[in-house]
Amino acid sequence: MSARARRRSNRAWEDKYRDVWRWDRVAWGSHCVDCYPSNCPYRVYVRDGVVVREEQAATFETVEEGVPDMNPAGCQKGASWSQLLYGQERVLYPLRRAGERGEGRWRRVSWDEALTEIADAMLDALQESGAESIVRIGTPQGGVQNMALAGAVLSRLGATVTDIQAEINDFNPGLYATFGRFDPVPSSDDWFHSELLLIWANNPAYSAIPWYHYLVEARYHGSEIVTIAPDYSPSAVHGDQFVPVRIGSDAALALSMCRVIIDEGLMDEAFVREQTDLGLLVRADNGRFLRQRDLQEGGSESVFYLFDARAGQVVEAPRTLDLGALEPALEGSYHVAAADGAAVEVVPAFVLLRRRLEDYAPEDASALCGVHPETIRDLARKVASRRTRILLGWTTGKSYHGDLMERAICLVLALTGNWGKKGAGTRSWAVGMFDGMLFWSGKPQPGEEATREMLQRQQEMVDAQRSQDPTLTDEMLIAELGYMGAHLGGTVPAALFWYYHCGYREVWNRSDWGDPSMRRTFDEYLREAMEKGWWQGSVQPPPDTPPRVIFEIGGNLLRRQRGGQRLLLRHLWPKARLIVSVDWRMSTTGLYSDIVLPAAQHYEKTNFCFMAPDVLNLTLSDRAVSPSGEARSEWQINLMLAKKLSERAKARNFLEITSVLGTPIRLDTLYEDITLGGALADDDAVIDEMVRDTAVTGNLPPGTTLETMRQKGWMRFTGWGRSPMALAQASDLRPNETHSPFRWQTEKKQPFPTLTRRAQFYIDHEWFLEAGEELPVHKEAPAQGGDYPFEVTSGHPRWSVNAMNMTNRIILGTYRGLPTLYVNDGDAAARGIKDGRDVRVFNDVSSMVVQARVTPAVRPGQLIMYNGFEPYQFEGWQDFSNVEPGMVKWLHLAGGYGHLRYRALHWQPIPIDRAVRVDIAPAEDGAASH
């Protein structure tokens, strides 16, 4: 052999290495899960029908000159998701339990056998208890396949769907109470415009990995970053200032900042007069807003008044934010003649706010929140002088008095004129802007013409309503359709389902775990709310009708539920004759189900992710490979079930049921009806129909189709369309600008969708007055779980999207790979707890065991249990939810008041998991976990 040939032969390993990086094709991919806002475009590489790797596409274009683009969107979970595609927990075939629920013994069955059992159980339920006894647990997982397609047959039958807002408790009740919307969402690139960014009740270093670079870039651009948190959080590490706040005292801090802003003359008075209700007059005798009905016999409930300082008289408040020549007084006391002739004293709501803030001088507030008075003053001055965004997370909403914290935080923004302009405001979550998802199922036939006709009909309804009040915005009118629809059931507030069917009644009536300011029992408040019709249509199934068939499609109820397995396995599980889990992996809920159906995973089906304002792109997750084993997309599973239901209905001669509207629903033609005569039976066909419809509604450029989406993998939205959450963004969507919500309020003077048409800080609902919460106030969190010395906080884990990535071997290698409880080093030493050893966590509810992670980053008295771990990762499958009571705040049952009414995804009680009280001790055997 020549020297050259020898050299070539010695380098054969290079070819082998090159061979590793060969692929046959590349597809667009993403991960349509609740890593909100998701939408990271990926390239997925396939070889011999197997996904061999994925990587960030990094193909986003620059939107606004001078603002960094969104590349390279992605995270470590996404970069290794293909490991789970072929992981050991994949469900590859329909499974039927062979032992008791949760025993872990399974039998592989055919699709036909599984679907026949499910269809018969559903038909039994329809015949014996009604459609509402079939319950789908709401979940945000799974993109369009799950949100729009997986439940099509259940929705057609009129099954109950629990509202995801309570299921995931990512609601911001204080934002909703203030703005009539909980969901202002700036695009992530708009963070770049902020001069001051407050990371408050949030940990974006864990929860917003793809967008975190905007914090770094904003800082490089001159922004200052302040982190306000009880612990020295992973996000605090990268900020300019860390403000440690005592757990649950954020309202005291915010209210004290408000006090400083007012006292030091830093308030933006014009903004407050125009944008807020603080200039509206309130009766001194009963604390209610002065209304037209007070002044005139038969007057309106929703016409309010202000004192015009220029004219020196009480006048009707405009129904929009356009004050014209009016100058609402913020101070003073006035008298009006009531309808019965009596003189009534009235004061601007701002006067009452000033009185409330008397309790929050920085020195007093410091005693409550633990922040030094000078730091409070300094923070207040900074916010008042800079374009400020508060990067709020969802920790506040998960706190018992989180609504008060959020209302106080919004007040800081209001007093400083900090919304409705780039770089200012706050944030939550929203989905929408893919209206085709809403239209396809209601169309009589496929095609764009049918969509245009539906749009026309909806517009006629909206216009008819607007003819009665021209100041009503599209957002208000479409929301009103949502309020009306809520009375018909279907999607229902999960809390009422839990109360009547899942054993929470007893827990919520524990006065020692509840709010000490409650004057009555939880039962009494609920009874009054029901008697007044505030939750009409919201109790499904009715209290005397047990749930019969339960579907969990892509979610993981037994991990996620506060108070979790302890209550659900005891109260809900025995009532259900059949529990069906549809998933690509075996979750804890799957392990306790009767039947598990295998769903296709991300790279195995055509799908679209959330349509969120954060990214303003529709992102395609395409079918790169065929589904593993016998897995099917959610749409195909749904259609197989529809066919089987019709087959079994015919065999049982049970051919029709009646809808809640009294119209007939045929059971023998479900497949044909859902697929519009078979035209939309294919995944690509139904999704293409949605894309085309979405182009008709204006969310996407004209002519966009699934095929054009396949060219680029993503498409920037061109308009908000018709969905309520999209319209709630209330700003023009411009092709070459970042998005900041509420510019329609500041620039066009459009009203907020609240009772008073203003950002509403004064809530004169009778229950709010009873609770002393008509204005924001600080209240201590109740002793949920009992009188114990530690308060537990939580948060989104760094290592997983919920529990989905907890078994990914690559990710497991990046941390301890098991659940841990973060304990302050001083607390640990005082109790003899060592890092890496097990601790027992206990309270009046129950106990659980977890490994301790000792760190000075956690404040004394605080414990952090990041969420997302599967219960089966804990000893005896008892995870942290085992010691959570799962309380809700009684005041969120209030209704019948302007915007404080239920519609899907909005105002409702949501479960609390922050500041649960526990104690800890070394576990008895002291052994390391696992």
Rule CB under 6 A: is residue 883 a binding residue for ligand SF4? no
Q: Are 626 and 604 in contact (CB under 8 A)?
A: yes
With CB under 6 A as the contact rule, which of the stretches 70-78, 178-186, 345-353, 488-496 interacts with ligand SF4?
A: 70-78
Quote the least distance from Cβ 479 to ligand SF4, whole Å. Answer: 29
The DSSP bridge pattern shows strands 50-56 and 95-97 to be unpaired
The DSSP code for 464 is H
Quote the least distance from Cβ 621 to ligand SF4, whole Å. Answer: 9
When computed from its CA atoms, the radius of gyration of the chain, rounded to whole angstroms, is 28
Quote the least distance from Cβ 76 to ligand SF4, whole Å. Answer: 8
When binding is defined by CB under 6 A, the residue of 28, 45, 74, 472 that contacts ligand SF4 is 74
Quote the least distance from Cβ 634 to ligand SF4, whole Å. Answer: 18
Nearest to ligand SF4 of 32, 408 (CB atom): 32
Nearest to ligand SF4 of 30, 162 (CB atom): 30
Decide: helix, strand or coil at residue 266.
Answer: coil
Tokens of 464: 């008819």
* DSSP states of 701-734: -TT--HHHHHHHSEEE----TT-HHHHTT-S---
With CB under 6 A as the contact rule, which of the stretches 67-75, 258-266, 369-377, 459-467 interacts with ligand SF4?
A: 67-75
Nearest to ligand SF4 of 72, 896 (CB atom): 72
Rule CB under 6 A: is residue 75 a binding residue for ligand SF4? yes
Nearest to ligand SF4 of 38, 396 (CB atom): 38
Q: How far apart are CA 261 and CA 763, in angstroms?
A: 22
512: how many CB neighbours lie within 10 A of its CB?
12
* Window 203 to 232, contacts with ligand SF4 (CB under 6 A): 210
Nearest to ligand SF4 of 74, 493 (CB atom): 74
Quote the least distance from Cβ 556 to ligand SF4, whole Å. Answer: 16
Quote the least distance from Cβ 75 to ligand SF4, whole Å. Answer: 3
Binding-site size, ligand SF4 (CB under 6 A): 12
- Cβ neighbors of 643 (< 8 A, separation 6 or more) are 670, 671
Q: 412-438: b or e for each residue (b if 16 or more CB lie within 10 Å)?
A: bbbbbbbbbbbbbbbbbbbbbbbbbbb
Question: Site mask, ligand SF4, residues 31-50, x = CB under 6 A?
Answer: x---x--x-x----------
Q: Are 907 and 899 in contact (CB under 8 A)?
A: yes
Q: How far apart are CA 32 and CA 35, in angstroms?
A: 8
Quote the least distance from Cβ 603 to ligand SF4, whole Å. Answer: 11
Question: Site mask, ligand SF4, residues 329-348, x = CB under 6 A?
Answer: --------------------
With CB under 6 A as the contact rule, which of the stretches 30-38, 238-246, 481-489, 754-762 interacts with ligand SF4?
A: 30-38
* Window 765 to 824, contacts with ligand SF4 (CB under 6 A): 801
Nearest to ligand SF4 of 86, 511 (CB atom): 86
Continuous H helices in 221-327: 250-263, 269-275, 292-295
* Window 82 to 141, contacts with ligand SF4 (CB under 6 A): none
Using CB atoms, what's the residue nearest to ligand SF4?
A: 78
Contacts for 128-131: CB closer than 8 Å, 24+ residues apart: 128/548, 129/541, 129/545, 129/546, 129/548, 130/541, 130/545, 131/157, 131/158, 131/159, 131/160, 131/657
Nearest to 640, CA basis, from 110, 147, 167: 110
Q: 79-110: b or e for each residue (b if 16 or more CB lie within 10 Å)?
A: bbbbbbbebebbbebbbbbeeeebeeebeebe
Quote the least distance from Cβ 285 to ligand SF4, whole Å. Answer: 54
Rule CB under 6 A: is residue 30 a binding residue for ligand SF4? yes
CA angle 714, 906, 700 (to 5 degrees): 20
Residue whose token pair is 């986003």: 60
Nearest to ligand SF4 of 74, 489 (CB atom): 74
Residue whose token pair is 């997750």: 621
With CB under 6 A as the contact rule, which of the stretches 72-80, 92-100, 281-289, 622-630 interacts with ligand SF4?
A: 72-80
Nearest to ligand SF4 of 129, 587 (CB atom): 587
Q: How far apart are CA 527 and CA 99, in angstroms?
A: 41
With CB under 6 A as the contact rule, which of the stretches 71-79, 221-229, 724-732, 787-795 interacts with ligand SF4?
A: 71-79
Quote the least distance from Cβ 88 to ligand SF4, whole Å. Answer: 20
Quote the least distance from Cβ 37 to ligand SF4, whole Å. Answer: 8
> Which residues make up the interface to ligand SF4 (CB under 6 A)?
30-31, 35, 38, 40, 73-75, 77-78, 210, 801
